Amino acid sequence: MLGYALRRMLGVFPTFLVIVAAAFFLMRAAPGGPFDAEQTLPPEIEANLQAAYGLDQPVAVQFARYLRGLTRGDLGPSFRMKDFTVAELIGRGLPVTLAIGAAALAVALLVGVPLGMVAGLRQNSGADHAVMSLALAGIAVPNFVLAPVLALVFGLYLGWLPVAGWEPGSLRHLVLPVATLALPFVAYVARLTRGSLLEVLQSAYIRTARAKGLAARVILRRHALRPTLLPVVSFLGPAAAGLLTGSLVVEQVFGLPGVGRYFVQGAINRDYTLVMGMVVFYAALILLLNLVVDLLYGWLDPRIHHD
């Protein structure tokens, strides 16, 4: 297992490098620049700014210098937020983003898996149709529609929850953002779990266990649960990516001080280093989560051996 993990980690680096290179060169190829403003700067001042940040060098030289800084963990200074480095900005927003994303993923698993199990065990029943109808609705409604609706109902009409802002340690400020992020993934997980369970229950080894007289709950716990969860585990990688990208919208709607707002601000302001820092952060996190998913496969499916 350790050797496999090391090989997978080595395989992650080329992918990471391609993502960083694509983002870097595409950003430089777009028209405009970080110091463009409504009021045109004098040529000598603009030239000094370009030289100060190394933007007067060829793009290949800029990229090589950025990679050297990246190997030291240096994401550079923000072009527009001059009092902060990119690493400091990410560090300020990271706890909020991780708290919301981790809570949403936990809700998706803790709610979606049991709902899918109930639907699969009671196929074509009222409970099955109800769960699948709710899942279809959860998949169909995007989070940029769901977020204002939840804020309107539970924040403004009922007055139960705050609709914006953030207080560290306050669970009330987490409820609406987490619900907005989690509900579509609850639907996906429930559908995956139901379909996987129905397939597993038709397997030969399940029929053999039934023929031996094992109780249904024993069959489910000992023989059906782990293979049922395989598609759910494979979905965790894309789910993490979806939660991270979805958090960009949710943080803007609910006024949360997460890293998503810096990505939006950096893109609007053409803040090269800030956008690159966000790309590096998201790419590294998603690749790491996909690596964890691959390793979990070996534990859930005994047929898979990591030599």
The residues that bridge with 189 in the sheet, in sequence order, are: none
CA distance 216 to 206: 10
The region that residue 159 occupies, defined by phi over 0 for left and psi between -120 and 50 for alpha, beta otherwise, is: left
Question: CA-based angle 226:228:231, to the nearest 5?
Answer: 110
What pLDDT sits at residue 167?
74
Spans in the chain with pLDDT lower than 50? 38
What pLDDT sits at residue 204?
75
- For residue 54, the Cα-to-chain-centroid distance in whole angstroms is 33
Question: Which residues contact residue 176 at a Cβ distance below 8 angstroms, ignoring those fewer than 6 apart?
Answer: 147, 150, 151, 154, 155, 161, 162, 163, 254
CA distance 276 to 87: 11
CA distance 204 to 136: 31
Q: Do 112 and 187 form a contact (C-beta atoms < 8 A)?
A: yes
Q: Do 122 and 198 form a contact (C-beta atoms < 8 A)?
A: no
Q: Hey, what domains does the chain have and what are their CATH numbers?
A: 86-300 (1.10.3720.10)
Q: What is the pLDDT of residues 230-257, one digit of tens each?
A: 788 778 777 777 777 667 778 878 888 8
Q: How far from 271 is each of 85, 176, 242, 295, CA to CA, in Å?
A: 12, 30, 24, 37
Alpha helices in the chain (DSSP H): 2-29, 43-52, 59-71, 86-121, 126-140, 143-150, 172-201, 204-211, 216-219, 225-228, 230-253, 259-269, 272-300
What pLDDT sits at residue 78?
79
Q: What is the pLDDT of residues 185-244, one digit of tens each?
A: 888 888 888 888 888 877 777 777 777 777 777 777 777 777 777 788 778 777 777 777
